[in-house]
Amino acid sequence: MDPRLEAELDAHAGSDEELVERLFRLVLRRPPDDEARERALRKLAEGTLSRATLLYELAASPEHARVRELDDAVALGLGARARGERIRWLQAPATDERVVEVPWVLSRLVPSGRVLEVGYAFAEPAYLAGLLRSGVELVGVDLATRDVDGMETVRADVRALPLGDDSVDQALLVSTLEHVGADNAVYGIAAAEGTDGEPRLAALRELGRVLRPGGSLLVTVPLGEPKDYGWFRQEDERGWMRLFARAGLFVHELELYELTPEGWRASPDLDTAGVRYGDRGPAASAVLCAELLPGRTRRLLSAGGLRTVARRRARRAYRRARRRL
Ligand SMILES: C[S@@+](CC[C@H](N)C(=O)[O-])C[C@H]1O[C@@H](n2cnc3c(N)ncnc32)[C@H](O)[C@@H]1O
């Protein structure tokens, strides 16, 4: 048969029920809700909606725009990782911070090994699908539960992980650190015990314990004027950096982004005074993305580390003095 005719007949094959189910899953990445299914089936049956127009309506909907934003973010991150590139100076559309955090993190995902995703239970399905496609061995940790095929899931507090020392190659915290020890009722979690002290510091130290030497921690957090919002706590750059340093984590890489009227843009000199969560868009107004390495600061503070730094400084001073002669 003529291939074009064959394709046209294919588009009309199967029942309307099958078509509606297939199109919703393909375009909106979810099954149709009862109301939408009933409406589409009724209109298809009475001839006031064609199969092509149903596809168009779904693809033109604001819901599909969000699907595209996240799909673009995942594709960008995994594509960069496949080329061995770390995404920097990213530009992303003016929506919530996931469109920056997701590609930033995915492009730095280790090529293989055991990866701990902290706070996976409410992660965007597109991000989880991207992680699952990446080929790493995934362990999800959260106070909440969610079954994810292909991912080992552990219900635990990130401050007390049921994992051995040096047992993880990389840990990911996408918009999660700021929630540790906060009021997590929004995630259906009763007030956690032991929220006194500095819960986020305890979380970072625990992650430092389970990370193997040479492993890394990818962290993305809301950035702005320091403020306790109840369900999370935002810090300015100094506040986050102080927390990383106190946890003994070396900042290997750091990028700051802010939401501008043109979309998300890198903003290395961002002044966070007056930058408040929710002021510029649906969620964070700025975000800090960092790769942290455990152990490096400790090595620096050891006698050997201090000697190395002193020698380097002496060499530089000697070179400067010679230039002056
Ligand atoms: C904003 S959501 C995380 C978003 C998600 N990572 C993403 O990629 O979109 C915060 C998550 O942190 C989890 N959480 C909060 N405190 C925790 C703790 N102490 N230990 C483990 N998970 C925690 C919550 O249950 C929730 O799933």
Residue 196 and residue 53 in one domain:
no
Residue 207 and residue 319 in one domain:
no
| 78 occurs within a structural domain | no
Residue 174 and residue 102 in one domain:
yes
- Nearest protein Cα to ligand 1, atom 26: 119
Reduced to 3 states, what is the DSSP secondary structure of residue 74? helix
- Nearest protein Cα to ligand 1, atom 11: 119
52 pLDDT above the threshold of 50: yes
Residue 178 and residue 136 in one domain:
yes
- Nearest protein Cα to ligand 1, atom 16: 180
Q: What confidence tens digit (pLDDT) does each residue in 243-257 have? A: 999 999 999 999 999
- How far is it, in rounded angstroms, from Cα 256 to Cα 184? 26
- Nearest protein Cα to ligand 1, atom 7: 123
Query: What is the DSSP-derived secondary structure letter of residue 24?
Result: I
| 74 occurs within a structural domain | no
Residue 318: the pLDDT is 47
Residue 319: the pLDDT is 53
- Nearest protein Cα to ligand 1, atom 22: 142
Residue 38 and residue 107 in one domain:
no
Residue 172 and residue 112 in one domain:
yes
Residue 310 and residue 279 in one domain:
no
Count of C-beta atoms within a 10 Å radius of residue 154: 15
| 66 occurs within a structural domain | no
Minimum-distance ligand 1 atom for the alpha carbon of 120 = 6
Distance in Å, CA 146 to ligand 1 centroid: 12
Q: Are 220 and 173 in contact (CB under 8 A)?
A: yes
Residue 126 and residue 238 in one domain:
yes
CATH code for the domain of 151: 3.40.50.150
Distance in Å, CA 24 to ligand 1 centroid: 28
Residue 100: which residues within 8 A CB-CB, separation 6 or more?
Answer: 73, 90, 92, 220, 257, 264, 287, 289
* Single-letter residue type at 108: R
Q: Which domain holds residue 49?
A: 3-60
Q: What confidence tens digit (pLDDT) does each residue in 138-187 have? A: 999 999 999 999 999 999 999 999 999 999 999 999 999 999 999 888 88
- Nearest protein Cα to ligand 1, atom 17: 180
Please work out, in degrees rounded to the nearest 5, the angle formed at the alpha carbon of residue 218 by the alpha carbons of 214 and 219.
140
Between 74-83, 89-98, 300-309, the lowest mean confidence (pLDDT) is in 300-309
Q: What confidence tens digit (pLDDT) does each residue in 266-323 have? A: 999 999 999 999 999 999 999 999 999 997 555 555 555 544 444 454 455 545 555 5
| 52 occurs within a structural domain | yes
Q: How many residues does the chain have?
A: 325
- How far is it, in rounded angstroms, from Cα 179 to Cα 13? 49
Residue 232 and residue 100 in one domain:
yes
Entry pTM: 0.88
Q: Are 160 and 63 in contact (CB under 8 A)?
A: no
Residue 234 and residue 121 in one domain:
yes
Site residues for ligand 1, CB cut-off 6 Å: 98, 119, 121-124, 127, 141-144, 157-159, 174-176, 179-180, 184, 187, 189, 192
Give the largest CA-CA distance in the chain: 93
Distance in Å, CA 100 to ligand 1 centroid: 18
Residue 289 and residue 312 in one domain:
no
Residue 184: the pLDDT is 87
Q: Count the domains in the chain.
A: 3
Residue 197 and residue 155 in one domain:
yes
